[in-house]
Structure 1
């Protein structure tokens, strides 16, 4: 039996997670029901109900629907068919072009991080041009909800990879999130990232998951360490370029092959090796290039994933990206990468 008898014509509620939380709180108070009582009826804690009403958790849609039903409300899901995405991007240095790209179309949002090519080789496409071509191809398939994100990315790689076979070609990492039903389908290829709050249990409602593919970090370790030492020791531009070229060659030898790592570059089959899944959550979720992740675990507000997530959700993306770039620029010898953040609701 429900906590209260449903209304003859249930009052619909819709909107963002915070709007739904406010509507549930108003209805609960009108009926004189306590948070503890509502939580007990749906198998949740009083704290969980409080966080739901305050918009500070990302609950599964089933639990929200149960709470709404107990209060005689109808949870309208039509608004979940598309996403609202707000993003910002800054180059690591204003002396070179930004190779990050982000976009959104209908239910889909994405971040693409073009990989800098340090070798002095003839390339038909540079990383920035390739990242933009990949983004356009993804956007053109955004409305195709019958295709999985893996299929959309594979098609985009195929269409954007237009360089001659003899060239190694540019590469990019990709993070995608698509509103699907009552949650998000997501995909991460390479070290781009997706962050989201999970609701694994009532006692762990604020846990933040970081989804990124770190296989590249296990490749060419000696060459990467040599470049890091050169950068931190203030090596000459020529020496640093040589160390970067060594690293590029070592990574290229293991690109898009078993035992190596996978990125968007030439072979559409790389999409099949991406991290891919579905999470039942109202959101928000964050898409980020790896330049945003460099500050995780450092000073406030990025000391933990949870505090970083809260900061990035609350602040305008352009402010968050600028703060990360400024923090990295203040560290002598630190790599300052292009940084992009997209808040998807």
Structure 2
């Protein structure tokens, strides 16, 4: 597995995304922002939460006998144990995060997606497959429409976003609502999971919604063009181009959104490269030597 990655902070006071990589796994998390005027039951905050959860996950998925759902369930419990003595974990107002992760396991690739981060798989002749969980867009629809009304960055807009988050918190990790990684381990059972032959996968991208918006929010690129950009120029170039687009619409008139720029994280993955090289008869001793 070959991985390149980039992560940049958006309009908030800290980057609430995180990315973790091992020789066989990638984990990307997007922490849910909490408006300053709303209560928070955790004294540590969202950046701390995503770092702890990501660290647990990348360690757990190294064990191929553990399914990705089991790893997520266990990681949530472990992070709960880190701060249940100091924080009110039974409240709605606790840190939460989307999850997208992949694991190379022998000749297959396992994946898990929880909430609205995106996994993009290039399956060659079978085309490009995107995997995400948009249930959050199906709840609190009236409040969401109001929160997307501009102009972005005004006190009135911020109040509408807070009203949306207040309603979403009540529907979070509830039947009929939507699911994210927070304090309830049962969220792992709601994740979208799958396994695919590595031979089918040419490349993959794991994206928080701040890094996927050139395609799914702005319509400025296709998924194929996004993968081409990642392949040719890398994740940092994707995020830089996203920031350029955002600045052309500073108040959300063209592309309504909750904030001018969101935290953006992208991991670009090539899998099974050593196996592919061996299949062609390539040997390490055949590699050209530097002068």
Q: TM class, shorter-chain normalised?
A: 0.7 to 0.9
TM-score, normalised via structure 2 length:
0.81
Instruction: Give me the whole-angstrom Cα distance separating, in 2, the residues matched to 1:92 and 1:289.
Output: 12
Give the Å deviation of 1:143. 1.9
For residue 282 of structure 1, report the CA deviation from its aligned partner.
Answer: 3.9
Deviations 1:35-83 (A, max 9, x none): xxxxxxxxxxxxxxxxxxxxxxxxxxxxxxxxxxxxxxxxxxxxxxxx2
- RMSD between aligned alpha carbons? 1.8
Greater RCO structure (CA 8 Å; 6+ sep): 2
Per the alignment, residue 262 of structure 1 pairs with: 179
Mapped pair 1:272 → 2:189: yes
Where do 1:17-166 residues align within 5 Å? 83-93=1-11, 96-118=13-35, 119-122=37-40, 123-161=42-80, 162=83, 163-166=87-90
Q: Distance in 2 between matches of 1:235 and 1:277?
A: 39
1:294 counterpart = 2:213 = yes
Give deviations 1:226-249, integer Å, cap 9, x for gaps.
1111xx235732x22321221011
Q: Distance in 2 between matches of 1:251 and 1:318?
A: 31
Return the alpha-carbon distance in structure 2 between the equivalents of residues 268 and 313 of structure 1.
36
Residues 181-211 of structure 1: CA deviation (Å, up to 9, x unaligned): 2231100001011001124xxxxx1621111
Moved more, 175-184 or 161-170: 161-170
Three-state SS of the structure 1 residue aligned to 2:265 is: strand
Work out whether 1:220 is the aligned partner of 2:140: yes
Contact 2:121 2:201 in 1 (8 A): no
Paired position in structure 2 for 1:173? 98
Cα gap change, 1:215/1:337 in structure 2, threshold over 3 Å: closer, same or farther? same
Q: Equivalent of 1:330, from 240, 248, 251?
A: 248
Partners of 1:254 and 1:219 lie apart in 2 by: 8
C-alpha change, 1:142 and 1:106, in structure 2 (3 Å) is farther
Report if aligned partners of 1:149, 1:186 keep a CA contact under 8 Å in 2: yes
Alignment of 1:179-218 (within 5 A): 179-199=104-124, 205=125, 207-218=127-138
Unaligned runs of 5+ in 1: 1-82, 200-204
**2-side partners of 1:311 and 1:243: how far apart?**
35
Query: What is the aligned partner in structure 1 of residue 279 from structure 2?
Result: none
CA contact (8 A) 1:208 1:309 kept: no
Q: Distance in 1 between matches of 2:181 and 2:213?
A: 22
Larger of the two Rg values belongs to structure = 1
Question: Which SS does the other structure have where 1:296 is aligned?
Answer: helix
Give the Cα separation in 2 of the matches to 1:167 and 1:299. Answer: 37
Report the Cα distance in structure 2 between the residues aligned to 1:314 and 1:206, rounded to whole angstroms. Answer: 22
Q: Is the 8 A contact 1:92 1:325 kept in 2?
A: no
The equivalent residue for 1:40 is: none
1:283 aligns with 2:202: yes
**CA 1:323–1:260: 2 relative to 1, 3 Å:** same
2:268 corresponds to: 343
Query: Residue 151 of structure 2 contacts residue 157 of structure 2 at CA under 8 Å; is this kept in 1?
Result: no
Provide the C-alpha distance between the structure 2 equivalents of 1:234 and 1:288, rounded to a whole number of angstroms.
23
Counterpart-to-counterpart distance in 2, 1:325 and 1:127: 23
